[in-house]
Structure 1
Amino acid sequence: MTSPTSLQAPRAVVMIRPHAFRVNPQTAADNAFQSLVAATDADLAASAFEEVSAAADRLQAEGVRVHLFDDDGRHDTPDSVFPNNWFSTHVGGQIAVYPMAMPSRRRERRSDVIELLKTEYRVQDVIDYSGLAHDGVFLEGTGAMVLDHIGRIAYTARSNRADPVALERFCTHFNFEPMVFDSADRHGRPVYHTNVLMCIATRFALVGLDLMTDARRRAEICQRLEDGGREVIALSPAQIAEFAGNAIELGTPHGRLLALSTRAAAALTAKQCAVIERTARLVALPVPTIEQAGGSVRCMIAGIHLTRR
């Protein structure tokens, strides 16, 4: 399969390999995707280390450029494996750094990641919103927002991790149109991050339509996605619970791929897979330990939308 380069599908990513991973009790209050864990922290950490190592190796073998950083755990950052929440990169040479809701997550910001990006890619500006967290204003990156880099739309589920003030600032700085909607999981609670119910690729979008509570807004979102040339693949609440919406399209020299977990891939129907595979090959990564922390493959990958030097 060969596919042209797409603004939506970065060909390089940042991943963080943890040495002290554990399920974070600070984030459990509004993250219904977290699991009760019977394993010891040491066993969890060892398993998560292996899962990220294997995922990074697989993506590199598929042709994705992976910048793999290690987190030694000295700063008590149990969720460091999810870097897409604290920074994002953008065509034109811009980087955004975000205000995180939980104190433990604010410690994930790393100057060495930003310096690597400046060294390897053309970076014009770093816009740092992280100080807003001290005022109780949060916007957790491309977890809180699912960005259509082609149509310049920031799809955002309302939650305490997506403050409208921060969202408006981001959209003004980065030239995105905010498209905000209400959501509810099977228990009636707002979904904590938009990227667990929505994935936008170049020619398709995986969307948990049933979790969008306003019918008119749901129809408007579908229309905008279709107007952008995408086929909307509706995911059921059960599929969302299996992380089927937490996927990311990546570019390679051999065509585009959709990276998702083995759990997520198993939840997709044959018909849904067929739509995806018309333009992207499915690459399923086993990350069951990491998924216990409430995030999956999309959360583990920070896409690099910058031009290489």
Structure 2
Amino acid sequence: MNSQQPLLSIQAPSAVVMIRPHHFTVNTETAADNAFQDNVSANSSDAKLAYDEITNAANILITHGVRVHMFEDEGKQTPDSVFPNNWFSTHSGGHVAIYPMKPENRRLERRYDIIEMLKKDYRVQDMTDYSGLEQDDLFLEGTGAMVLDHMARVAYAVESDRTNPIILERFCTHFNFEPMVFKASDEEGTAIYHTNVLMCIGTDYALIGLDMIENQARRDEIATRLENSGKRVIALTNDQIRNFAGNAIELQGQDGRLLALSQTAFEALSKKQISMLETSVKLVPLEIPTIEKAGGSVRCTLAGIHLASRD
């Protein structure tokens, strides 16, 4: 760890919300446009495995000094509830956003007990609720659809049915971000459905699948923009993206900043990439292979809390 780096960063929340599933399964409503999702539905034994994976991941984060607010999902109607980052986000200054979701069964994930916890434990000034736009088939799936650079105030977003440009512009106006939209697909031409499988922005680095950005000029512009904002750009291969190496999140722990990522993602990184990252953060791999069958990884399971605590 670099002892000269600042201890605290607006990019790295020190608290997260997690949802522990009791009846985990793969969501058939999202399979059509989520190429990262396993074609085979989760079986009954996977439910117990997924429960244990979230429990163990939370315990590891807690040992590193991250505050974890764990909520239970005991219902059977919300197979993707383990991914709370899609339906709400929090922002410094006391701001909270609630988002419109494309799959109908994902709309059931919104939980107002979580919102009440945020109001009770943190300083919430206002709440902006975009979820009513679902009636107009307009969607913006939170920090899955957007990867936010909280320091440079840029919202990176892949063009997708889950990222409506009108709502994105509205969000950026309300929350003081500049939108940077681009098309991305894999080598077979399959469109990337969520931005946060493609890239992760830390305090002074960015993991990004540059080869997936279709337009060369836009690719160069994004790389330059990240570098000019003080980020060391670490390019990920398509295979590393498929192994969720881009689906990570920087957090603030008791001994400094850490990068939470899956064991799958960690094993996909090269030794050189790991060394580059370790100059900035401590890497904390979490084993969630069952959860990853649903098409998301560690970043998706953690909704960061960028709010001031009332403590």
Q: TM-score, normalization: structure 1? A: 0.98
| Structure 1 partner of 2:214 | 213
Q: 1:207-233 deviations in whole A, cap 9, x for unaligned?
A: 000000001111111111111111000
User: Structure 1 CA distance, aligned partners of 2:87 and 2:260?
Assistant: 20
Change in Cα spacing, 1:141 to 1:216, as seen in structure 2 (3 Å) is same
| Structure 2 partner of 1:160 | 161
The amino acid across from 1:59 in the alignment is L
Aligned to 2:106, the other structure's residue is in SS state: helix
Consecutive unaligned residues in structure 1, runs of 5 or more: none
User: Structure 2 CA distance, aligned partners of 1:281 and 1:239?
Assistant: 19
Tell me, yes or no, if structure 1 residue 186 matches structure 2 residue 187.
yes
Aligned to 1:282, the other structure's residue is in SS state: strand
Aligned to 2:52, the other structure's residue is in SS state: helix
Tell me, yes or no, if structure 1 residue 23 matches structure 2 residue 40.
no
| Structure 2 partner of 1:202 | 203
8 Å CA contact 2:82, 2:301 repeated in 1: yes
Tell me, yes or no, if structure 1 residue 67 matches structure 2 residue 69.
yes
Measure how far apart 1:38 and its partner are. 6.4
Tell me, yes or no, if structure 1 residue 85 matches structure 2 residue 68.
no
Which consecutive aligned stretches of 4+ in structure 1 deviate over 3 angstroms post-superposition? none
User: Structure 1 CA distance, aligned partners of 2:149 and 2:222?
Assistant: 12
User: Structure 1 CA distance, aligned partners of 2:159 and 2:87?
Assistant: 18
Aligned to 1:15, the other structure's residue is in SS state: strand
User: Structure 2 CA distance, aligned partners of 1:39 and 1:253?
Assistant: 36
User: Structure 2 CA distance, aligned partners of 1:71 and 1:39?
Assistant: 17
User: Structure 1 CA distance, aligned partners of 2:270 and 2:235?
Assistant: 11
The amino acid across from 1:35 in the alignment is D
| Structure 2 partner of 1:302 | 303
User: Structure 2 CA distance, aligned partners of 1:57 and 1:196?
Assistant: 24
User: Structure 1 CA distance, aligned partners of 2:42 and 2:89?
Assistant: 32
The amino acid across from 1:121 in the alignment is Y
User: Structure 2 CA distance, aligned partners of 1:115 and 1:182?
Assistant: 37
User: Structure 1 CA distance, aligned partners of 2:45 and 2:254?
Assistant: 37
Aligned positions of 1:92-111 closer than 5 A: 92-111=93-112
| Structure 2 partner of 1:236 | 237
User: Structure 1 CA distance, aligned partners of 2:166 and 2:129?
Assistant: 14
Tell me, yes or no, if structure 1 residue 13 matches structure 2 residue 10.
no
The amino acid across from 1:227 in the alignment is N
User: Structure 2 CA distance, aligned partners of 1:39 and 1:16?
Assistant: 18
User: Structure 1 CA distance, aligned partners of 2:82 and 2:138?
Assistant: 23
Tell me, yes or no, if structure 1 residue 56 matches structure 2 residue 62.
no
The amino acid across from 1:67 in the alignment is H
| Structure 2 partner of 1:46 | 48
Measure how far apart 1:162 and its partner are. 0.1
User: Structure 2 CA distance, aligned partners of 1:145 and 1:277?
Assistant: 25
User: Structure 1 CA distance, aligned partners of 2:134 and 2:62?
Assistant: 35
8 Å CA contact 2:288, 2:297 repeated in 1: yes
Aligned to 1:133, the other structure's residue is in SS state: helix
Aligned to 2:173, the other structure's residue is in SS state: helix
| Structure 2 partner of 1:257 | 258
The amino acid across from 2:296 in the alignment is G
Tell me, yes or no, if structure 1 residue 176 matches structure 2 residue 177.
yes
User: Structure 1 CA distance, aligned partners of 2:134 and 2:41?
Assistant: 32
User: Structure 1 CA distance, aligned partners of 2:265 and 2:228?
Assistant: 27
Measure how far apart 1:36 and its partner are. 2.5
Aligned to 1:167, the other structure's residue is in SS state: helix
Tell me, yes or no, if structure 1 residue 226 matches structure 2 residue 227.
yes
Measure how far apart 1:37 and its partner are. 2.7
User: Structure 2 CA distance, aligned partners of 1:227 and 1:93?
Assistant: 28
Consecutive unaligned residues in structure 2, runs of 5 or more: none
Aligned to 1:28, the other structure's residue is in SS state: helix
Tell me, yes or no, if structure 1 residue 132 matches structure 2 residue 133.
yes
Measure how far apart 1:190 and its partner are. 1.3
| Structure 2 partner of 1:141 | 142
The amino acid across from 1:283 in the alignment is V
Instruction: Name the count of aligned residue pairs.
Output: 307
User: Structure 2 CA distance, aligned partners of 1:186 and 1:106?
Assistant: 31
User: Structure 1 CA distance, aligned partners of 2:66 and 2:199?
Assistant: 22
User: Structure 2 CA distance, aligned partners of 1:305 and 1:153?
Assistant: 16
